[in-house]
Amino acid sequence: EVQLLESGGGLVQPGGSLRLSCAASGFTFSSYTMSWVRQAPGKGLEWVSGIYNSGDSTYYADSVKGRFTISRDNSKYTLYLQMNSLRADDTAVYYCAKSVSGHWDAFDIWGQGTMVTVSS
């Protein structure tokens, strides 16, 4: 079964750091672009960051550029999001998502999400 499972969310103070992980199974992880998408409470979906199959190209939303770092370990079938200098407006459910083959957008597989709360 094709599956994505996020972990690493939790409560963190403003200015703190957190590392999210996304374990993939059921497909050839190294063949697909992967992204992180978040949804703040009561708000819509927001694309956060994406990484190419090999990991050598990465992109970020302006709202997280310079604070978040996306990476992947294809040998471990795992996607990561290192989040530093966290702010209250980073509070959200964070989803990892697999792109349709050959696409940066069009996410056909999503995880269930992990909640990140930034609060003192």
Partner 1 sequence: QSALTQPASVSASPGQSITISCTGTSSDVGGYNYVSWYQHHPGKAPKVMIYDVSNRPSGVSNRFSGSKSGNTASLTISGLQAEDEADYYCSSYTRSSTLVLFGGGTKLTVL
Number of residues that bind partner 1 (CB under 8 A): 24
- In the structure encoding, which two tokens stand for residue 75, read together? 């040998």
CB 19, CB 80: distance < 8 Å: yes
**Nearer of residues 78 and 99 to partner 1, judged by Cβ:** 99
CB of 120 to partner 1, least distance (A): 27
* b/e code 68-79 from CB counts within 10 Å (16+ = b): bbbebeeeebbb
User: What's the rounded Cα separation, in Å, for the pair 39 and 47?
Assistant: 9
Residues 47-66 that bind partner 1 (CB under 8 A): 47, 50, 59-62, 65
The reply on whether position 36 binds partner 1 by CB under 8 A is: no
Q: Is 115 in the site for partner 1 (CB under 8 A)?
A: no
Query: Sign (positive/negative) of CA torsion 87, 45, 47, 23?
Result: positive
Q: Is 72 in the site for partner 1 (CB under 8 A)?
A: no
Q: Which is nearer to partner 1, 58 or 82 (CB)?
A: 58
Taken in order 14, 4, 109, 78, is the CA torsion positive or negative?
Answer: positive
| Interface contacts to partner 1, rule CB under 8 A | 35, 37, 44-47, 50, 59-62, 65, 95, 100, 103-108, 110-113
